[in-house]
Structure 1
Amino acid sequence: MDHNIYLLATDPKNPCRDVIHSRDTRLKVRVFCLNEERFSPDDNELQLYGYADDKLLAFETIDIIPEDAIDLLDAIKWYASYIDKPQMEILPEDPRPGQNVAMYGQ
């Protein structure tokens, strides 16, 4: 398959709650605006991050299966273009201070 087609589900009550759907696979990705809402990453899902101007976004898969993980980056790139931020850098970890500190001694 050359290119997946992505669709966007929006929540009319919360503009920060978009969900990206792949038309051709089972991939679904929830978008969180970290400047406006709390986010607790799910250990069973994949998370990536990106800045859209001064807004930090988190992208978290929904019920990910291994075959769909490869499409995650393409889905986020599609979303970045959709929101008119095609140069958005996609980050592997939460860039906020203190968010990636390992808990030792527990």
Structure 2
Amino acid sequence: MDYNVYLLATDPLNPCRDVIHSRDTRLKVKVYCLDEERFSPDDNEIQLYGYADHKLYAFETVNVEAEDALDLVGAIQWYANYIDFPKMEILPEDPRPRAQYRDVK
């Protein structure tokens, strides 16, 4: 079985601004800590969400291409292991109640 290798770019000034890079594909995923910062999803990208240790994370692709999108869940699972929370639940939509109304004025 083949396994993808992931690399992590971190921002020393903001621990909530990690970027996951796949070594084997062009996939890049930005990580956001939703409890600590604002997040506005990009309609042209894919977003997934996850809870880990009572924190909510958003994962958003960067310039995603169709063939790389298949690697997204694997990248998030790798990140969950990296932060020592391998049982992170990955969610397809933002679970925060107010997120459902973000486009309503």
TM-score per shorter chain, which class? over 0.9
Contact 1:29 1:59 in 2 (8 A): yes
Instruction: Specify the alignment match of 2:63 in structure 1.
Output: 63
Q: CA deviation at 1:97?
A: 0.5
Matches within 5 A, 1:64-103: 64-101=64-101
TM-score when normalising by structure 1 = 0.93
Q: 1: CA distance between counterparts of 2:47 and 2:17?
A: 15
TM-score when normalising by structure 2 = 0.94
Q: CA deviation at 1:102?
A: 8.3
Q: CA deviation at 1:2?
A: 1.0
AA aligned opposite 2:93: E
Q: 1: CA distance between counterparts of 2:54 and 2:82?
A: 17
Residue 16 of structure 2 is aligned to residue 16 of structure 1: yes
Contact 1:93 1:100 in 2 (8 A): no
Residue 40 of structure 2 is aligned to residue 40 of structure 1: yes
Q: Deviations over 1:6-55 (max 9, x none)?
A: 00000000000000000010000000000000000000000000011111
Q: 1: CA distance between counterparts of 2:102 and 2:84?
A: 35
AA aligned opposite 2:95: P
Cα RMSD between the aligned structures? 1.7
Q: Deviations over 1:46-96 (max 9, x none)?
A: 000001111100000000000000000000000000000000000000000
Q: CA deviation at 1:103?
A: 5.7
AA aligned opposite 1:76: I
Report percent identity of matched pairs. 72
More helix per residue = 2
SS in 1 for 2:99: coil
